[in-house]
Structure 1
Amino acid sequence: MKKVIYNQFGDERVLELVEQAVPAIQNDQLLIRVKAVSINPLDWKVYGGEMKLMSGSRFPKSLGIDFSGMVEQAGSQVTRFKEGDAVMGLLDAFKGGALAEYVVVTEKDITRKPALVSFEQAAALPVTGLSALQIMDQLAAVRPEQDVLINGASGGIGVFAVQIAKKRGAHVTAVVSTDAVTAATQWGADTVIDYTKQPINQLTQRFDVLIDLSTKLSLGEAKPLMKPRSVLVSTLPSPVTLLSSFVTNLFSGKKHKILILKPTVERLTTLTNLAGAGLQIEVANTYTLSNVREAYAEARHRKRIGKSVIVLD
């Protein structure tokens, strides 16, 4: 089978497409024939060497976190899935491995793909959708009537964060570029700010929740936008930000939470139900496995609404 690996840290040029044997499964595992894999910003942070503390430095390494596909084989102890089931799921964020023609998973890693969701859309859902759910329900604990600002709302997480915040009854302000203003309105944002015309540091409104998906808003910059008891959620974990947020949360009513994705079967099921009920999933562009370097180069350097997806034959 074909699989994407890398043997050193660097840019997308370190990515290699190699031939490997189809992996064997154990009794509690499933073999999935992969149909599509989405690209996440965390991918290039990992293969670029920015996340060595979490990913380690042993090579070769694999790439690709969330995927969709068909169950090719199920172990004798598997009870929830059978051969031929259409599924979607995700692997360990720092180990990857989904960018391959076949991948081995356990039952807790996957859920059934909703019938009306394409394989490309399904692959674009788990990491960003689960991130949005974890932010809304755990880190920010968004409640009805709260004022929520989502900075960078047109990216992978933002698409779902806007929609889920509205489902939680919040008043949502989405900060996007000019080309995403219409889309953010369609996702349900109450107020849409084009940051090229109105910098958010000029806003006079104060918010209960600020969600920074641009990774550019520091706590110091966010504080003037925060109510006395409020929370800023950032999505780029690092030792410095984790330590800083720990100290801040001990002494201030303005809390700083850092997203470290912790998938659960319950959240994956919730996400599947939302998708089946009409959650909008934005696929920005699709690529073939042989064009993996081009796919990552464009995803890194071109801002798009939604996510880029690599489609396998």
Structure 2
Amino acid sequence: MKAIISSEYGSPDTLQFNEIENPKPEDNEVLVKVQAASINYGNLVLLKGNPLLARLVYGIRKPKYTIPGGDIAGTVEAVGRNISQFQPGDEVFGDLSSSGWGAFAEYAAVPEKAIARKPLNLSFEEAAAVPMAAVTALQAIRDKGKLKAGQKVLIHGASGGVGTFAVQIAKALGAEVTAVVSTRNVNLAQSLGADHTIDYTKEDFAEQEQNYDLIIGVNGSRSILTYKRKLNNEGIFVNIGGGGSQLFQTMLLGPLFEICGNKKISSFMQSPNKKDLEVVRELIEDGKVKAIIDKIFKLSEAPDAYRYFDEEHLQGKVVLLV
């Protein structure tokens, strides 16, 4: 089979498009013929080995997982002897980031727990754009943010992969949603159901009177103190993305704010699981959530896809067509 191989840390130029042996599923695995995959921030970490702490998980000197790719959509080709939920021909999607990665290939042997049935109303390309970003948004809003219907939510960074899902999921859970985006993404945010939009090139959400019960910081571009100031009493700020300084502020100051006041500042990392993947599938099949794709590349164009993902201000997801 053809696959993208990452044998050293570095730039997208280190990625190789090679022919390797097809994987063979173990007793508790499913062999998936991959139709599409997508790129997430975790793929950049795995590519560059940065931040350095990530190498404790991904390999000290070189990547431990040589075939990258977490999000996957495809067709079941074969099943191990202990598999009961799937059979050849089933259309599935899932997140392999906690199962050895491996989505950037024509075939992948994956644990049954990492995949679910593909939403009936999505193409393979659309389905591949969903798993990691949508589950991240769901867990950040529902679990970490403890959202209640009727609360006011600010999504700071609402046009990227996680942000587009966060707007829709918050609306589906009954929130009043304000999306912070650039000028070109105002219409996109409105089409996703945002009640209010703030064009950050023209106005600053921090200078407005409105405060929020929950703030989701997808891009992490403002200080923790700014987000804290814009929270209502008992409000929660959840930091999903951003640079190292943002994460450091959240980890250092978050517990202090919680002890000294009634506002919560917390960092967040998604936990892939089949149950939440199926919750997302139901939201999609009910028409409450849809996938937004910025651009589609061929698998052989993975280096270009990585560069595009890293350098452009995306509207939704970058997908690899396998």
Q: TM-score range by the shorter chain?
A: over 0.9
Correspondence for 2:55: 52
Equivalent residue, structure 2, for 1:84: 89
Cα distance in 1 for partners of 2:114, 2:73 equals 11
Does structure 1 residue 274 correspond to structure 2 residue 277?
no
State the match for 2:214 in structure 1.
Answer: 209
1:11–1:44: 8 Å Cα contact kept in structure 2?
no
Name 2:141's counterpart in structure 1.
136
Question: What is the aligned partner in structure 2 of residue 252 from structure 1?
Answer: 261
SS at match of 2:270: coil
Q: Which amino acid aligns with 1:15?
A: L
Is the CA contact 1:245–1:257 (under 8 Å) kept in the aligned structure 2?
A: yes
The aligned counterpart of 1:294 is: 304
CA distance in 2 between partners of 1:26 and 1:253 (Å): 50
- Residue 188 of structure 1 pairs with residue 193 of structure 2: yes
Matched residue type, 2:28: D
Residue 309 of structure 1 aligns with which residue?
319
Offset of residue 215 of structure 1: 2.2
- Alignment match of 1:177 (pick from 171, 182, 186): 182
Partner letter of residue 272 of structure 1?
R
Partner of 1:62: helix, strand, or coil? Answer: coil
1:200 Cα deviation after fit: 2.2
Q: CA deviation at 1:94?
A: 8.9
Report the secondary structure of 1:272's partner residue: helix
Structure 2 residue 287 is matched with structure 1 residue 284: no
- Superposed displacement of residue 144, structure 1: 1.3
User: Matches of 1:200 and 1:10 in 2, distance apart?
Assistant: 37
Given that 1:54 and 1:94 are in contact with CA atoms closer than 8 Å, whether structure 2 keeps it comes out as no
Deviation at 1:116?
A: 1.6
Q: What's the offset of the Cα at 1:93? A: 5.1
- Percent identical among aligned pairs is 35
**Paired residue type of 2:285:** G
1:22 aligns with: 22
What TM-score do you get using the length of structure 2 for normalisation?
Answer: 0.92
Task: Please list every run of 5 or more consecutive structure 1 residues that lacks an aligned counterpart in the other structure.
Answer: none
Gap regions ≥5 residues in structure 2 = none
Match of 1:262 in 2: 271
Measured after TM superposition, the shift of residue 158 of structure 1 is 1.2
Amino acid at match of 1:249: E
The structural deviation recorded for 1:243 is: 4.5
Q: How far is 1:247 from its partner?
A: 4.0
Q: Which moved more, 1:139-148 or 1:3-12?
A: 3-12
Q: Which amino acid aligns with 2:35?
A: K
- Deviation of 1:95 after TM superposition, in Å, equals 4.6
Task: Name the Cα RMSD after superposition.
Answer: 1.8
Distance 2:232 2:142 in 1: 19
